[in-house]
Amino acid sequence: MYAPKRFLIDKAIVNDNENAARSAYQRNHYVSCFLLIHSLVEALLRAFLTKTRQERFAGLITAYEKYLQQEGQTRSTFVDELTKFNQRRNRIIHELWEKGYSATNNVSEPACCAAFIIYGYLIEWLEIFQPEITDFEF
């Protein structure tokens, strides 16, 4: 049910979003960068998991945790990190409503840097279970 699957993802879209995230970071647009990386992490999880139809990010984390349990992993740090990552995204969105883009952007650089790290580590971790995941050029 929660096994890895072959999922067709347009490599050009992954590449475009990664380039846009790097560009946003270089231009000090940390909110945009963070949200782009969040969407890439979501695409990565959707590419990896079978049960992905109409699920929110939190549902993807739950499906990922169940997959890890099937693989004998009793506790994964990545589940906690992905949960915190999604909570950071929610805080950033709320700050956009309350404080506006400029104020939110000014304090979002650490979250943006952490997003790049999480994205990279998640790719490497998922390669253990499905080496072909990098065929999508994540």
Tokens 């647009």, residue?
Answer: 29
pLDDT at 1: 42
Tens-place pLDDT, residues 71-130: 888 777 789 999 999 999 999 999 999 999 999 999 999 999 999 999 999 998 888 888
Q: How many CB atoms lie within 10 A of CB 70?
A: 11
**What pTM value is reported for the model?**
0.86
The tally of CA atoms less than 13 A away on the side-chain side of residue 46 is 16
